[in-house]
Amino acid sequence: MIEHQETRSRGLGVLTALHEAVARTRGLTATLFAILLGAFSALGFAPFHLTPALVVACVGLIWMLDGARSQRQWGRAMFARAWAFGFGYFLVGMYWTAFPFLVEPEKHAIFLWMPLVLLPGGMALIWGAACALGGAFWSASPSRVFIFALFMGGAELIRGTLFGGFPWNLPGTTWAPGGALSQVVSIGGVYWLTAVTLFIAAAPAALVDTRDANGVLGRALPAVMAVALVGFSFAWGSQRLSNDTVITERSVLLMDAGVPQAEKFDNGGEAVIARYIQLLQDVPSEDGDIIIWPEGALPNGLLPNPYLPNYDALELISAFLDRRALIAGSARFTRDGEDVSAFNSLVMFTPGANAASLAALYDKHRLVPFGELPATKIIPFGESIAGILPSAMQRMAKNGFEPGPEATVLLPQIVAPPFIPLICYEGLFPEIVRKAQPQREAAEWIVVISNDAWFGGGLGPAQHYAQNRYRAIESGLPMARVATRGMTAMVDGYGRELARGNPAPGDPAGWRSAVVRTGLPAKLENTPYQRFGETFFWLTMVLFAGLAFVTWRR
In this structure, the answer to whether residues 227 and 251 fall within a common structural domain is: no
Residue 140 has pLDDT above 90, yes or no: no
Which residues, at least 6 apart from 376, have a Cβ–Cβ distance to it below 8 Å?
382, 383, 386, 398
- Average of per-residue pLDDT across 5-19: 69
Banded pLDDT at 113 (limits 50, 70, 90): confident
* Residue bearing the bigger pLDDT, 353 or 222: 222
Q: Give the three-state DSSP class for 322.
A: coil
Indicate which residue of 131, 264, 364, 444 is catalytic: 364
Residue 5 has pLDDT above 50, yes or no: no
In this structure, the answer to whether residues 271 and 341 fall within a common structural domain is: yes
pLDDT above 90 covers what percent of the chain? 71
Residue 378 lies inside a defined structural domain of this protein: no
Q: Which whole-number Å values give the CA distances from 522 to 289, 473, 479, 481, 493, in the listed order?
A: 16, 13, 10, 16, 8
In this structure, the answer to whether residues 235 and 303 fall within a common structural domain is: no
**Helices H / strands E in the chain, number of each:** 18, 11
In this structure, the answer to whether residues 258 and 137 fall within a common structural domain is: no
Banded pLDDT at 393 (limits 50, 70, 90): low
CA dist., res. 145 & res. 204, Å (int)? 9
Residue 389 lies inside a defined structural domain of this protein: no
How many domains does the chain divide into?
2
| Per-residue pLDDT at 286 | 82
CA dist., res. 232 & res. 279, Å (int)? 47
- Average of per-residue pLDDT across 306-312: 81
Is 364 annotated as catalytic?
A: yes
- Average of per-residue pLDDT across 348-355: 82
Banded pLDDT at 352 (limits 50, 70, 90): confident
Q: Which whole-number Å values give the CA distances from 201 to 53, 174, 339, 364, in the listed order?
A: 9, 11, 52, 36
- Average of per-residue pLDDT across 380-395: 53
The bridge status of strand 497-500 relative to strand 514-521 is: unpaired
In this structure, the answer to whether residues 332 and 217 fall within a common structural domain is: no
pLDDT above 70 covers what percent of the chain? 91
CA dist., res. 172 & res. 470, Å (int)? 10
| Per-residue pLDDT at 99 | 86
* Residue bearing the bigger pLDDT, 553 or 122: 122
* Residue bearing the bigger pLDDT, 378 or 477: 477
- Average of per-residue pLDDT across 314-318: 89
Residue 375 lies inside a defined structural domain of this protein: no
Is 295 annotated as catalytic?
A: yes
Task: Report pLDDT digits (tens) over 71-88.
Answer: 999 999 999 999 999 999
Q: Which of 203, 75, 70 is nearest to 148 (CA)?
A: 203
In this structure, the answer to whether residues 195 and 262 fall within a common structural domain is: no
Contact 207, 145 (CB under 8 A): no
Contact 272, 257 (CB under 8 A): yes
CA dist., res. 216 & res. 209, Å (int)? 9
Residue 372 lies inside a defined structural domain of this protein: no
- Burial zone of 313 (CB within 10 Å; 0-12 exposed, 13-18 middle, 19+ buried): buried
* Residue bearing the bigger pLDDT, 94 or 3: 94
Least confident of 100-104, 147-151, 345-349, 540-544: 100-104
Residue 3 has pLDDT above 50, yes or no: no
Residue 376 lies inside a defined structural domain of this protein: no
Which residue segment(s) compose the domain that 273 sits in? 247-366+403-521
| Per-residue pLDDT at 1 | 43
* Residue bearing the bigger pLDDT, 407 or 426: 426
| Per-residue pLDDT at 373 | 67
Residue 422 lies inside a defined structural domain of this protein: yes
In this structure, the answer to whether residues 97 and 183 fall within a common structural domain is: yes
In this structure, the answer to whether residues 257 and 333 fall within a common structural domain is: yes
In this structure, the answer to whether residues 118 and 65 fall within a common structural domain is: yes
| Per-residue pLDDT at 308 | 82
Indicate which residue of 156, 295, 426, 444 is catalytic: 295
In this structure, the answer to whether residues 13 and 130 fall within a common structural domain is: yes
In this structure, the answer to whether residues 22 and 130 fall within a common structural domain is: yes
| Per-residue pLDDT at 129 | 98
* Residue bearing the bigger pLDDT, 309 or 365: 365
Banded pLDDT at 490 (limits 50, 70, 90): very high
| Per-residue pLDDT at 376 | 52
Q: Give the three-state DSSP class for 208.
A: coil
Residue 347 lies inside a defined structural domain of this protein: yes
| Per-residue pLDDT at 54 | 98
**What CATH number should be reported for the domain holding residue 322?**
3.60.110.10
Residue 209 has pLDDT above 90, yes or no: no
Q: Give the three-state DSSP class for 146.
A: helix
Banded pLDDT at 378 (limits 50, 70, 90): low
Residue 373 lies inside a defined structural domain of this protein: no
| Per-residue pLDDT at 12 | 67
In this structure, the answer to whether residues 337 and 412 fall within a common structural domain is: yes
Least confident of 96-105, 210-219, 278-287, 289-298: 210-219
* Residue bearing the bigger pLDDT, 189 or 312: 189
Report the chain's mean pLDDT, rounded to a whole number: 90
Helix axes 535-551, 185-202, angle to 10 degrees: 30
Q: Which whole-number Å values give the CA distances from 296 to 223, 236, 454, in the listed order?
A: 48, 40, 12
Indicate which residue of 131, 424, 474, 534 is catalytic: 424
What is the helix (H) or strand (E) element at residue 358, kind and residue range? strand 357-363
Q: Which of 436, 427, 529 is nearest to 186 (CA)?
A: 529
| Per-residue pLDDT at 437 | 76
Sign of the Cα pseudo-torsion (158, 452, 419, 233, in order)? negative
Least confident of 111-115, 170-174, 261-265, 291-295: 111-115
Residue 51 has pLDDT above 50, yes or no: yes
| Terminal-residue alpha carbon distance, the chain | 32
CA dist., res. 275 & res. 298, Å (int)? 10
Least confident of 62-71, 124-133, 157-166, 510-519: 157-166
- Average of per-residue pLDDT across 447-474: 95
CA dist., res. 212 & res. 343, Å (int)? 63
* Residue bearing the bigger pLDDT, 284 or 296: 296
How remote is the C-alpha of 253 from its chain's centroid?
A: 24
